Amino acid sequence: MLNTLFLKTRKTMLRSLTALAVSVCAVPAFADTLPQSCVNALESQSIGLIVPNRAGGGYDTYGRAIANELGDLIGTRIHVSNVVGGGGLMAMSQVANQTEDEILLIVDGVEEIVNSTDGNDILPFGSNAFEMLGIFYTEQEVWLANPEIDFSDPSLSTLVFSTSSIDSNFVPLVIAAKALGFSIEVIGGYGGSGEAIAAVLRGETDLTTASLTTTMRAAENNNNDLALAMIVSDEPVAAAPSIRPMIGPNSIFDARSANWTEEERNDRKELAETVLALGTTRRAIFTASSVAPDILTCMRTAVDHVLSSDALADTLILQGRSVAPLPSLVSQEIFSRVQTTFDRHAEQIAEMREEFGN
């Protein structure tokens, strides 16, 4: 069932790009499609790819598959490292502070990069320390929960979340909960979505948040022990029409706001719309903005070819994953738009971080 979903999702995304007059095509050979200057420049580089999660998870699967295909195209080995710690901040710091001796790449979410770095006074860098190379999959976040919890019940007031990083999940978790009128307790430090989901199964927490694919797989594998409680969307999605959206018709927001004042409803709806803008899962590959412009241009071209190749798609489908790539220019525009949206709501988000003690 999931493999069918992945194939349909990939085809749907590619058809959407065609409608936007964006041409994405698989490329059979590196040397035939890249200027010789890029071939020479990249094959002589030491290149590493960092995964900010433990081995075996979704980002690790994507990262290793991309590294293998990219290495084959360039003609060099790309070593993959799992750097876990600080909710992804250790990995981001290594990439942002890389030296000229090595090109470091990172697979991470667009929103995770922006939410974790911008407005974080502890870090000496923000999301502008990163250059977008390409988005390879996009889907909504879902709340995965104890099936006995009725989120539409207006009397339900407090929830306990499990997460790997409060920073990276602040929008789809903390702000979303506030928009829906919940008080929350967050238990962080889990080693990725798998461990956060296991905490829900053990009864340590009420719920966690993860991508649609991850949560659907977890719900299928655990029978009736997990519920797909809410999708961060303003309408049902075709892949899982039974999951109630956050706002919109027949939404969790509508159910919980029935007894709110008009002012409270409007204020919380504004928060919910912020979550929709910043709470989508866009899996992508980045490098540092300090990379030399000529190398960056060549790397973007190479990554474009890899992400749109049938070889990568076939490899990932065999591992239960899908790829729906966006060209580099489109990906860069989306990254910029997310940064702008975050900046526009920065003061509001900062106040909530302070209120939450984060």
User: 73-106 pLDDT, tens per residue?
Assistant: 988 899 999 998 887 899 999 999 999 889 999 9
Residue 101 DSSP SS3? coil
Q: Checking phi first, is residue 326 left (phi over 0); if not, alpha (psi -120 to 50) or beta?
A: beta
Q: Which residues on neighbouring strands pair with residue 285, listed in sequence order?
A: 107, 134
Model confidence over 105-131: pLDDT tens digits? 999 999 889 988 987 878 899 999 999
Q: At what angle do helices 328-344 and 262-278 cross, to 10 degrees?
A: 150
Average pLDDT, 10 consecutive residues per value, the chain (358 residues): 38 41 38 73 93 90 97 92 89 94 95 87 92 95 94 89 81 87 89 90 95 92 92 93 94 93 94 86 96 95 95 94 93 95 83 70
Query: Which one, of 106, 52, 114, lies nearest residue 287 by Cα?
Result: 106
pLDDT of residue 329: 94
Q: What is the mean pLDDT of the chain?
A: 86
Residues, the chain:
358
Model confidence over 1-32: pLDDT tens digits? 433 333 334 344 433 443 443 333 333 344 44
Q: Which residues on neighbouring strands pair with residue 161, listed in sequence order?
A: 186, 207
Q: Is this prediction's pTM over 0.95?
A: no
Q: In degrees, to the nearest 5, what angle opens at C-alpha 123 toward C-alphas 64 and 131?
A: 45
Residue 269 buriedness (CB in 10 A; 0-12 / 13-18 / 19+):
middle
